[in-house]
Amino acid sequence: MKAMVVRAPGGLDRIECAERPDPGPPGPGAIRVALHASSLNFHDLGVATGGMRAADGRVLMADGAGVVEAVGEGVTEFAPGDNVVSCFFPDWQDGAPTIPDFSRTPGDGIDGFAQEFVTLPATAFTHAPRGFTHLEAATLTTAGLTAWRALVEDGGLKPGDTVLALGTGGVSIFALQLAKLAGARVIITSSSGEKLERARDLGADETINYRETPEWGARVRELTGGRGVDHVVEVGGPGTLPQSIGAVRVGGHIHLIGVLTGRGGEVPTALLMAKQARLQGLIVGSRRQQRDFVRALDGGGLRPVIDRVFALEELSEAFRHQEGAGHFGKIGVEW
């Protein structure tokens, strides 16, 4: 069977289509899945380009969706024909987070889902939402669940809250959609006026071009009558955190998710303290959280926004499209 692997030390020209042995039938507690889709995340790009120092020949991609072909002895949660979606932390089933790294994350510490078939413990998957295509389901593992956990699980998002989403990438567009679904008001930033228009079409209430308005924290305060926002979906990291601290309300919540502007920098600690804001780092979520997220999506209120779709063999091209940062929402891969 076909698998897209990256050769050490990484690089988009070092992604190869390799022939791998079929994973075979499922043993007790396992399921065999015919995979059909994945989606790109900043993390996958890091693995592909060598930034995460993945093993030579690692099968890429944390996100995977497909159909169950066979179930092993003792598996009651799934049946052949069920549509399923993979879990970012296959070992984190429920409860408080305990895993501080990516050593067991598919497509990084272990082989991922850019391949035709896998046979894995049933607990490495959840059902896909009713009516979702494989491509849509494949956007949930990383970007979707991160936005869900931040806003709904950790943030207790409720109608009337105001959410600030930074940029129009995968996590931020899910945050926009979930916030609107929950009856919240959304302010979103982007480097592109055209993308801001598209965000308005999805329900964004206010938009800010962060290139034209570098002091966007002050603009957010203006747009909220001086109060600030309840939630900041912080995907920028050090380059955006000072503005995010300026934008959050007293007692609000900054969900520290991303590192798009770098890995370290200065934090205006006195302002953060004065804001009495919660600054919380998080990495994706547990399988139980994914099941809750899927149940919410079964209601049909949200469809993932997919910018462009590539074939499995075109994975390097898909990553180049991601590097170009012209995308809005998710980039998909389908086979």
Ligand X SMILES: NC(=O)c1ccc[n+]([C@@H]2O[C@H](COP(=O)([O-])OP(=O)(O)OC[C@H]3O[C@@H](n4cnc5c(N)ncnc54)[C@H](OP(=O)(O)O)[C@@H]3O)[C@@H](O)[C@H]2O)c1
Binding site for ligand X (CB under 6 A): 41-43, 142-143, 146, 166-172, 189-192, 195, 210, 235-236, 239-240, 257-261, 282-284, 322, 325
Q: Which residue sits closest to ligand X, CB atoms considered?
A: 169
Q: Which is nearer to ligand X, 3 or 143 (CB)?
A: 143
Alpha-carbon span 240 to 210, nearest angstrom: 10
Q: How many CA atoms lie within 13 A of 204 on its CB side?
A: 25
CB of 49 to ligand X, least distance (A): 13
Terminal Cα-to-Cα distance of the chain (whole angstroms): 13
* Among 39, 274, 32, CA closest to 173: 39
Alpha-carbon span 178 to 111, nearest angstrom: 30
Paired strand residues for 189: 166, 208
Q: Which is nearer to ligand X, 122 or 284 (CB)?
A: 284
CB of 13 to ligand X, least distance (A): 20
CB of 254 to ligand X, least distance (A): 13
Alpha-carbon span 277 to 245, nearest angstrom: 8
Q: What are the strands, taking DSSP E only, across the chain?
A: 2-6, 15-19, 30-39, 58-59, 65-71, 83-86, 117-121, 125-127, 162-166, 185-190, 206-209, 229-234, 248-256, 278-281, 306-311, 330-334
CB of 139 to ligand X, least distance (A): 10
**Tokens in use for 77?**
């949660």
Phi-psi region at 167: left, alpha or beta (left = phi > 0; alpha = psi -120 to 50): left
What are the residues whose beta carbons fall under 8 Å from the beta carbon of 124, sequence distance 6 or more?
Answer: 86, 87, 90, 106
**Tokens in use for 21?**
């042995």
Q: Which is nearer to ligand X, 224 or 286 (CB)?
A: 286
CB of 8 to ligand X, least distance (A): 21
Q: Which is nearer to ligand X, 260 or 309 (CB)?
A: 260
Q: Which is nearer to ligand X, 76 or 98 (CB)?
A: 98
Q: Which is nearer to ligand X, 71 or 232 (CB)?
A: 232
Alpha-carbon span 128 to 130, nearest angstrom: 6
* Among 87, 46, 63, CA closest to 330: 63
CB of 14 to ligand X, least distance (A): 20
Looking up tokens 């955190």, which residue turns up? 241
CB of 76 to ligand X, least distance (A): 30
Q: Which is nearer to ligand X, 119 or 261 (CB)?
A: 261
Q: Which is nearer to ligand X, 148 or 335 (CB)?
A: 148
CB of 75 to ligand X, least distance (A): 28
Q: Which is nearer to ligand X, 155 or 167 (CB)?
A: 167
CB of 146 to ligand X, least distance (A): 4
Do the beta carbons of residue 143 and residue 330 sit within 8 Å?
yes
